[in-house]
Amino acid sequence: MKALMTSLALLALAAPAPIALADDEYGLRGGGGTGGVTISREEAVRIARAEGMTRVKEIERDDGKWELEGCTRNGREIEIDIHGRTGAVLDLEIDEDDDC
């Protein structure tokens, strides 16, 4: 029995350690894949609309975040980055020119 316990202990020490994935800059494990993104495209659009985007021109998922480009009610171009897991607004830029 003692030999069995010793063998099991040695086997446990020799087993490879699990690989840890580092968080990316947005706190999402595994980088830019879809694994970290949990909010839907529709939810990202809802969040962008709450921030003043009235028309969505472009939307894509990149590096664990949603990136939206569109227009405000008064015709200004707006860009919003939304955290893919939490839905937090990471960046919001409104162009001062009437580009839309």
Tell me which DSSP letter residue 16 carries.
Answer: P
pTM for the model: 0.64
Domains of the chain: 2-94 (3.10.450.40)
**Which tokens in the block code for residue 49?**
């609309």
% pLDDT > 70, the chain: 63
Distance between CA atoms of 66 and 4, rounded to whole angstroms? Answer: 53
- Give pLDDT tens digits for 29-51: 444 444 554 899 999 999 999 99
Residue 38: predicted pLDDT: 87
Residue 68 has pLDDT above 60, yes or no: yes
Mean pLDDT of the chain, nearest integer? 79
φ and ψ at 50, to 5 degrees?
A: -65, -25
